[in-house]
Each structure stands twice: as C-alpha cells, then as structure tokens.
Amino acid sequence: MSASPESLQPLDVSLSPQERFEEYLQTRGLRQTSQRKFLIDRVFSEHDHFDADELIDRLPRRGEDNYVSPATVYRTLREFVDAGLLNSFQLDGRTVFELDYGYPQHDHLYCTRCRKLLEFQSETLMQIRDDVAADLGFRVASHRMIIQGVCRECSKNRRKKRKHDLV
C-alpha cells in the first residue's frame, strides 16, 4: 500500500493530456483556444487536488498575460472532466478536482481538521471490491472511497494542546 502523491506514479499513455483533450474537442466540434491550452498545461503541471477557486487564485490576474476569466475556468474544468482528464468529487461542500488521465485507480484519506487529502493504493482493497462484485454478479466500472478522520500531524498537535491545557 502506498500513501503519498509521489507514490502514485503516472501510467504510460498513448496520448498526452493535451492531445487527448484536442481529440475530445474535435469530436464535439469545438476548437482549441489559447486559454484551454494554458489551463491544461497549468492543471497537468503538478499533481494535486484543487477546487476551481484555488486554481483561479494561482492563475494570472486580469490585465496580465494568459489571463483566463473565472467563467472560462469553471467551464473548462467541466470539459476536462467530460474528456476523462480530471475526476471531480464533493468534499466539504466544494467540488474538488484531481488528475485522472494517466494515473492509476486510488483512494483517499481526508483529514477533517487541516483538509489534507492523502492518496493511497491498496491491492487488498481492490481484491475485496472485485470479490464482492463477482459474488453479486456486478461488473465494476470504477469506485471512489474517501476515508475521513484526523491525520498524524493534527493528532500530534491536539495531544500537545491537551498537555499544555493541563499545566
């Protein structure tokens, strides 16, 4: 089992994310724009989880080169999900995005205190999933599991505070 973004090694894929998105746009009769190109490069430049507002905060501001309006960001993120490039899921009332294309199936641990989202892979979990599905005659397309709790760092910090409160 592995539990860090670094441990989720990208898979070999035949098309780059940019090429796959270009293919998606062509099948829908849409054109590739400089803003879409900029966003796909920015999103796939690092492996992290983010919401639309966090991405917008990291982009150039109005009046700067490569400015992308918030409406375009929201629309393009939906297109990335539809194209199979990103996954999206709800977490604490916000839509969180993560890279999907070129990354293996994995699950998450979510710290409810610091909002850290840790990725992990478990062959044991996958085997249980497949066994249960087979027993019930179910064909698995995908799954998502998010285990909520408190991370090690937040647990340590809480214990320190308790000792301090006793003094």
Binding residues for Zn(2+): 111, 114, 151, 154
Extract the tokens encoding 40: 């796909």
Check: CB of residue 112 under 8 Å from CB of residue 76. no
Give the sign of the dihedral formed by CA 141, CA 5, CA 108, CA 133.
Answer: positive
What residue numbers does the annotated binding site for Fe cation cover? Answer: 107, 143
List b or e across 83-99, with b for residues whose CB sees 16 or more CB atoms inside 10 angstroms: bebbbbeebeeebbbbb
What residue numbers does the annotated binding site cover? Answer: 107, 111, 114, 143, 151, 154
Rg of the chain's alpha carbons, rounded to an integer? Answer: 19
